[in-house]
Amino acid sequence: MAPGAPVALVLGGTGYLGRAICAGLRDEGHRVVALARRGGPVPAGCAVVTADLSAATAPELLRLLTRSRPSLVVNATGALWEVTDSAMERANTEVVRRLVGALGAVPGPRPRLVHLGTVYEYGAPADGREAIDEDTPERPTTPYGRTKLAGTRLVTAAVAAGRVDGCVLRLSTVIGRHAPRSSLFGMLAARLREGSGVLRVPQLDGHRDLVDLRDVVDAVVAAARTRDRTPVLNIAGGRPVPLDGAVDALIRISGMPVVRESEPRATPRRDAGDSRPIGVGSALRVLDWVPRRSTHDSLTALWESSNEVPSQL
């Protein structure tokens, strides 16, 4: 990459979303630096800086931003699976508080912030709407939704006050290459790869909005370009998908001969949310973005990568 190319700093850049975002920004001409708590695979041509964001203070983040001088910061950090509620609060809210404080203190031109939120921040709104759009009142029902909403509000308040140039992309359930085993479909793909002949599936209710990882990357790239001041944009597939049907589709794509069995109902999932359609009209208007990949495309990409170790992209 040319030395004069703009620098993009991707927080959580070695994670599931972060790696793909790093590759997309690299392909757009950025010099990409992935910031992560521990080293990990990143796309070819991207650098890695290790830092524990949950422990870093705002002054430490400011020094990091001043040294790297990014024109773009993407916050792809967050915690959902296999963590305590207090760890979730640190990752989803406190890290954002410190990041927003540091960005507001950067001397000279301030980098643009693209913060990744979640549609689970809406929770189960009781306003009678047929679809969820950005004006829907938020009523999160889980610690994940509440802590992510707190992070979103920190960003939007700083943008409204003129301290930060940025926006929040509220993502629905993201499916694509190298989905983590802790996620529902990543777990099911891994179980299918085991080839035991039996696929144990958690009890699934209703529908969810599923969006392709590649569509998410396209949205991040578009949000990095725009200077529109719309604070929050939904990034989603735009239609609810029956979860049982998506599981059956993954089984067909795998070609594995399995007997499907239901697991006993466990505790409620931490990503439990509403099954209504997620409106993406604002993203079309502001970013000229629409979801382009189907659920079948997403599940195929997931399956094809499910026996790979994430490495060079």
- Long-range CB contact pairs, 302-308, < 8 A, 24+: 302/175, 302/176, 302/177, 302/179, 302/185, 302/186, 302/189, 302/250, 303/189, 303/192, 303/250, 303/253, 303/254, 304/177, 305/177, 305/178, 306/179, 306/186, 306/189, 306/190, 306/192, 306/193, 307/193, 308/178
SS3 196: coil
Write down the residue that tokens 């599931």 correspond to.
Answer: 16
C-beta of residue 80 within 8 angstroms of C-beta of residue 140: no
What is the distance of C-alpha 85 from the center of its chain?
19
SS (H, E, C) 69-114: CCCEEEECCCCCCCCCHHHHHHHHHHHHHHHHHHHHCCCCCCCEEE
Indicate left, alpha or beta for 45 from its phi (over 0: left) and psi (-120 to 50: alpha): left
Residue of 16, 120, 122, 144 marked active site:
144
User: Is the sign of the CA dihedral 206, 293, 15, 117 positive or negative?
Assistant: negative
The Cα 165–Cα 260 span in angstroms is 49
The secondary structure of residue 269, as a DSSP letter, is P
Catalytic residue status for 144: yes
Catalytic center residues: 144
